[in-house]
Amino acid sequence: MNTVGIIGGGASGMMAAITAKSCGADVFIVEHKDRIGKKILSTGNGRCNFTNIKQQPECYRSDQPDFPQTVLSRFSVPDTISFFLKLGIYSKNKNGYLYPNSEQASSVLDVLRMEIERLGVCVYTDTSVSFVSKKKKGFQVHTEKRNISCDTLIIATGSKAAPVTGSDGSGYDLAKSFGHHMVPVLPALVQLKCKEKYYKNLAGVRVQAKVSIYGDDQYLAHDTGELQLTKFGISGIPVFQVSRFASRALYQKQHVHAEIDFMPDFNDHAFESFLNARIQSRPDKILDQFFIGLFPAKLACTWISISQIDRNKKVCDLSAKEFDTLIRLIKHFQTEVIDTNGFESAQICCGGIDTRELDAATLESKLTDGLYFAGEIIDVDGICGGYNLQWAWSSGYVAGSEAAI
Ligand SMILES: Cc1cc2nc3c(=O)[nH]c(=O)nc-3n(C[C@H](O)[C@H](O)[C@H](O)COP(=O)(O)OP(=O)(O)OC[C@H]3O[C@@H](n4cnc5c(N)ncnc54)[C@H](O)[C@@H]3O)c2cc1C
């Protein structure tokens, strides 16, 4: 019987353990936190959005864009749903986003832990791995408490995001000790810091908007949804979705800016007509009153002060140039992105083990026989919406089943 060692007891490590044990292997997990699966408790605002019915290749990013699909096709969304149903998780479908019906992330962690216990997987918590050595056959995992041998090894230590949950980046050093290279590991699904001073007046504003990201004036990505303005810059789901592109461009020392469209349901022409009709309907309103009922007051006040138009001017007296300035501010608002928030605030990281060094069919290292990887440590990141956990389940399944053979 093969002994499979797994370093890291997060989502992917637990899935790998359950799979390998179900395939007949002896399995142990080494986890440096006092409990396994801590990060799962924070997912989906404590409700755990554990997968998403809507799957498209673009939902997953990697330097090798085809790599994730090979893995995901071996353990798909229906596989995930039936796996969790067997463990007791009845899904609640919210517009394609799946949660446990209990809406408690702890339910997902509980059923995984119960299954690990039921199958008899050996779990060493509070155990830090000092290093791993390759033996003639298999590996020796060196910890401060004990040395443990295994025939095959899975490194499932996550990324550097939310390090308080245990993913402190130490797994990257273990991978490097076997000669692996990293695609730069950067915060993703994270807030963006902007240069302009007016953000301190805008904090708390939430508004539907389209956010587009540019690096050195080249378009990189966009997303539409509820934008949140904070005292340091921009946040909310559309910002999270484009943040990995901003992160990469900033890392490459590009000049990064975001363009915000505060009226995404209208094209420029339709919005011009709409504003003109609004002026015709109440020509005596002063600019200060004109946006009431259309946009949050703090936002309108900021546009007016950037435009330098007299806020007491009647809207029927606006010049064509002033009208255009307002249109540009509302539909093409420019803001300079100077940084992302740090790893502590990021939901995930982009980057990780270079997938060119892994066999996509098995997740085995091409550099060391018997060494496998699973989860976020690999250079694959998903968009927000259950895709990162789906990656953890699929890659955990593939690594677990292959390492068990
Ligand atoms: C706030 C937040 C909300 C999120 N919400 C969602 C969501 O709703 N849906 C979604 O799909 N994704 C979500 N994610 C992302 C998702 O949680 C992760 O992508 C996923 O948990 C990654 O799984 P993993 O097994 O690769 O890593 P992790 O879950 O981070 O697990 C890694 C484990 O390895 C352990 N470890 C690390 N280094 C060592 C070492 N040297 N020795 C021993 N043990 C080690 C860690 O303690 C940890 O337990 C969220 C993330 C955060 C932070």
Q: Domains plus CATH for the chain?
A: 3-182+353-404 (3.50.50.60), 191-341 (1.10.8.260)
Closest atom of ligand 1 relative to the 158 alpha carbon: 27
Cβ 187 under 6 angstroms from ligand 1? no
**What is the Å distance from ligand 1's center to 357 Cα?**
22
**What is the Å distance from ligand 1's center to 162 Cα?**
8
Q: What is the pLDDT of residue 1?
A: 80
Q: What is the pLDDT of residue 145?
A: 86
Residue type, 354: D
> Can you tell me whether residue 346 is helix, strand or coil?
coil
Closest atom of ligand 1 relative to the 174 alpha carbon: 41
Distances (CA, A) of 282 to 275, 276, 277, 285: 11, 10, 9, 6
Tokens found for residue 348:
């995930």
Contact 81, 98 (CB under 8 A): yes
Q: Report how far residue 11's alpha carbon sits from residue 130's, in angstroms, rounded to the nearest whole number.
A: 22
Tokens found for residue 324:
């255009």
Cβ 49 under 6 angstroms from ligand 1? yes
**What is the Å distance from ligand 1's center to 398 Cα?**
18
pLDDT string in tens for the chain (405-residue length): 899 999 999 999 999 999 999 999 999 999 999 999 999 999 999 999 999 999 999 999 999 999 999 999 999 999 999 999 999 999 999 999 999 999 999 999 999 999 999 999 999 999 999 899 999 999 999 998 899 999 999 999 999 999 999 999 999 999 999 999 999 999 999 999 999 999 999 999 999 999 999 999 999 999 999 999 999 999 999 999 999 999 999 999 999 999 999 999 999 999 999 999 999 999 999 999 999 999 999 999 999 999 999 999 999 999 999 999 999 999 999 999 999 999 999 999 999 999 999 999 999 999 999 999 999 999 999 999 999 999 999 999 999 999 999
Q: Which helix (H) or strand (E) holds 184?
A: strand 182-188
Distance from CA of residue 377 to its chain's centroid? 13
Burial of 273 (0-12, 13-18, 19+ CB in 10 A): exposed
Q: What is the pLDDT of residue 268?
A: 96
Cβ 42 under 6 angstroms from ligand 1? yes
Closest atom of ligand 1 relative to the 128 alpha carbon: 42
pTM of the model: 0.97
Q: What is the pLDDT of residue 39?
A: 98
**What is the Å distance from ligand 1's center to 402 Cα?**
22
**Which pairing describes strands 152-155 and 3-7: parallel, antiparallel, or unpaired?**
parallel
Residue with tokens 């060493």: 124
Contact 331, 263 (CB under 8 A): yes
Q: Report how far residue 187's alpha carbon sits from residue 329's, in angstroms, rounded to the nearest whole number.
A: 29
Q: Which helix (H) or strand (E) holds 71?
A: helix 67-72
Tokens found for residue 341:
């928030």
Cβ 388 under 6 angstroms from ligand 1? yes
Contact 396, 9 (CB under 8 A): no
Q: Report how far residue 114's alpha carbon sits from residue 318's, in angstroms, rounded to the nearest whole number.
A: 68
Q: Whose CA is nearest to atom 31 of ligand 1?
A: 10
Q: Whose CA is nearest to atom 6 of ligand 1?
A: 43
Q: Whose CA is nearest to atom 49 of ligand 1?
A: 10
Name residue 149's beta-bridge partners: 140
Q: Report how far residue 289's alpha carbon sits from residue 7's, in angstroms, rounded to the nearest whole number.
A: 61
Q: Report how far residue 61's alpha carbon sits from residue 67's, in angstroms, rounded to the nearest whole number.
A: 9
Q: Ligand 1 test: best mutation among 6, 36, 39, most atoms within 8 Å of CB?
A: 39
Cβ 352 under 6 angstroms from ligand 1? no
